[in-house]
Structure 1
Amino acid sequence: MIKNRDIVCIANTTWFGEYTKSTVQLMSRLAKNNRVLFVEYPFTWKDTLTTFLGKQKAPVSRMLGLKSRLELINTENGSKVYNLVPPPVLPVDFIKKDQLFKPFFNLNVALYKIALRKVMKKMEVKDPIVITAYNPFYGLPLIGQLNEALNVYYCYDGIGTRRHGKRIYAIDEAFSKNVDAIVTTSDYINDDKKKFNPKSYVVKNGVDFDTFYADAKNKVHKNEQKIVGYIGSLDHRFDINTVEFAVKNMPDTLYHFTGNLRNQEIKQRLDKFDNVEFFGSVKPNDVPALLATYDVGIIPYLVNDINKNIYPLKINEYMAVGVPVVMTPFADLKDFSGMVSVAENNETFVKTLITELEKDSRSAINKRIEFAKSNSWDIKAEEFGEILNKLLENGND
């Protein structure tokens, strides 16, 4: 494990939130032996306005400097992480012409850099390891600007156009070529990144095993009605057709969907069935107990080029509480061969669900739990740290 280093994480998320985030899990563990500064993705002035209107939740007081932008957070793993909320920036993604976009975005970068450098100076950060977590937009202009000893791109998803438009592809490629190394969460992403940078490594997603295991099942539920459950964002990735087919053809089975509803069509099409229930997002600490109520957990993602990159966090979380998993073939997750069921089409999805419900056993539950234990975030953080050590020792040659 890497020790006694300053680590600056240029994140693409906030620290707090509704769901588990791989960046947060890794940084909280690396912080046990290092000093970690987690820089949140900057909210815009539009986010500030919508928060005042009650339509969003952004840390406006910290963004505006009314409260300290820098806070020391006690993590659930016993470590401490410095958390920086940058000042608000201009909303620029809607600007299509680069001639107009660049000067405004450069202003955003300047504001971000000034706030970050001020904090780094106050903390007396020296020769930091900069880990840019899925944020090439800010990572690229900051290369060489933070006196870093090492600059690593942590890429945990495929690059898409939903937030930044098509310009993200050129930015991601340039960033990938110019960083010292890349760490990805799947073999598929890694194969893609190696085209741009030969120093590309894989650290796959994990699970907060001890937390989930505390609520794990120890036997098969004897409920009169079985529960097929899904937890996570209900968004553009979700395969509505496959799930609707299953709901129609298994009317005696309950389907529970829990999470942030970002694609209204999902509820419009499924809520009309008597065996379907939707629930809002739950606090992260409540997730393990909720998953343990399921008889089967599903990951019904669409099969497309974007989803091929996904290594879903929930796959290990389901298994850590002993729940069988049925998924669509959206990604090649060969590590889970023989441990999860992959259904190639609608009919197979239904047949597989029925089989998993009928054949589950205490021994199968224990096998899943042991498998998830080997994928704990503690182990993944050690893998990540060893890659950083190797890069430092070899001088990035």
Structure 2
Amino acid sequence: MSRAVRAPDLAGAAQWRQCVTVCATNRWDGVKLHDRSLAEQLARHVPVLYVDPPISPATPRRRADIAAPASPRVRMVADNLAQLAPVVLPGLRRRGVATANSEIVRRQIRRAVRDLGVPVAALVEADVLLPAFGAARERLRVYWAQDDYAGGAALLGLDPVRVQVAEVRVAAKADVVITASPVVHDKLAALGASPILIPYGCDPEAFAGVETAADPEDVDLPGPVAGLVGHINARIDLGLLEAVAEAGHSLLLVGPIDPTFEPDRMRALLGRKNVVSVGRKPAESLPSYLKAIDVGLVPYVDTAFNRGSFPLKTLEYLAAGRAAVSTDLPATRWLDSSLIVTATTPPEFEAAVAAELQRERSGQLAAARRAFAESHSWARRAADFAAAIRVTRPDGSVSISGGDRPGGTQ
């Protein structure tokens, strides 16, 4: 299978002198996550070709949110941003198919880069099973290790050994290795890489209007309110949410619930009068729901995958001026802030939530939380990323974040 990239209107790229190709793990048109947040900020330093994770004609059968693909398409999505949506064979990363699909992705990237007509300064790869290194004749090969992929392989129905072997190979081929969490940094360092730690950031501007946002119409809970924003699935320690609800605290859940995740316990939790679940909400509506929340929760279960992650929601709660109570994750320890309360067992977690709920909403405390989140913004992370992959602004300068806690550390 070799589909030609559809002829695009790329007038917006006429002034590009170079670009960075980012092979993402999340679609540009899906929920805005770390890949898109970084790409948007990185585009302030250098033009970016954002490559969606590939899909096949079979993908829409199991993903109702994805339309049937026609042909690979490259399009301008912003002044300094182009996007390519690769189409591959059914089976995606399955053994026996992954090699062919990896080559298909490389060919489609190669054609897209040819259409853009600029050299590629760096190709950033985050998919260890469908690596695209070499597709764009890039000057620099960058491996962006976003999570402990081997630790989370079972959640995706993949063989952890296969994933680990693939990651070692990709890291060995990379000129630069960038990790998103302290655990993944240490893991790859132990394997002989020289990784740079640049954790995930947040978008403070997206939460600047929380206090003036409209009240959500589908939330009727007495305050104060504890809340969880995000997917509710096997990564969540349900016992911690149960402890909060059983103590009588108002609990708001914002995000999709995996129907296979502890269905009986979830049904019992959602049956409580002090618990409201509003399901998935678009990003632009989140300020309204965060306005209703006094304490944001990060109740992750202790697994290898979670230990290797860097939850976005912790910084987003703080960016909204809200308290944050989290389980004791390495990422939380790295942030090293008294503004984030950690607790592990259900009684400890409930007690921490209760203590934060009893605090009066203080303008000074909310400002401190927002200032901390600002020091970990995606703008700062992108500046560190640009410096790490040695790209320059049009004037030839290289910006670094200059934050209180720089992300780029080796």
Q: TM-score range by the shorter chain?
A: 0.7 to 0.9
Partner of residue 367, structure 1: 368
Partner of residue 32, structure 1: 44
For the pair 1:194 / 2:189, whether they are aligned, the reply is yes
For the pair 1:265 / 2:269, whether they are aligned, the reply is no
Equivalent residues in 2 for 1:8-27, closer than 5 Å = 8-18=21-31, 20-27=32-39
Partner of residue 294, structure 1: 293
Aligned length: 361
Shift of 1:7: 0.6
Larger relative helix fraction: 1
For the pair 1:227 / 2:225, whether they are aligned, the reply is yes
Partner of residue 155, structure 1: 145
CA contact (8 A) 2:181 2:331 kept: no
| TM-align CA RMSD | 2.3
- Counterpart Cα distance in 2 of 1:170 and 1:269: 42
CA contact (8 A) 1:7 1:129 kept: yes
Q: What is the aligned-residue identity percentage?
A: 20
CA contact (8 A) 1:181 1:197 kept: no
CA contact (8 A) 1:42 1:89 kept: no
Range moving further from structure 2, 39-48 or 310-319: 39-48
- Counterpart Cα distance in 1 of 2:223 and 2:92: 50
Consecutive unaligned residues in structure 1, runs of 5 or more: 96-100
Partner of residue 123, structure 2: 130
Counterpart amino acid of residue 234 in structure 2 = H
CA contact (8 A) 2:18 2:118 kept: no
Counterpart amino acid of residue 6 in structure 1 = C
Shift of 1:59: 3.5
CA contact (8 A) 2:129 2:166 kept: yes
- Counterpart Cα distance in 1 of 2:349 and 2:172: 41
CA contact (8 A) 2:99 2:130 kept: no
Out of 49, 55, 62, the position equivalent to 1:43 is 55
Out of 49, 55, 65, the position equivalent to 1:57 is 65
Q: Deviations over 1:329-376 (max 9, x none)?
A: 233522233111111311111111111111244122221111111111
Shift of 1:257: 0.6
Out of 69, 72, 75, the position equivalent to 2:73 is 69
For the pair 1:165 / 2:159, whether they are aligned, the reply is yes
Shift of 1:216: 4.4
CA contact (8 A) 1:64 1:88 kept: no
CA contact (8 A) 1:186 1:310 kept: yes
Consecutive unaligned residues in structure 2, runs of 5 or more: 1-15, 214-220, 398-410
Q: Deviations over 1:60-97 (max 9, x none)?
A: 2xx322xx7111113xxxx431111112422155x5xx
Out of 119, 133, 146, the position equivalent to 1:143 is 133
Partner of residue 275, structure 1: 274
CA contact (8 A) 1:292 1:322 kept: no
Shift of 1:288: 2.4
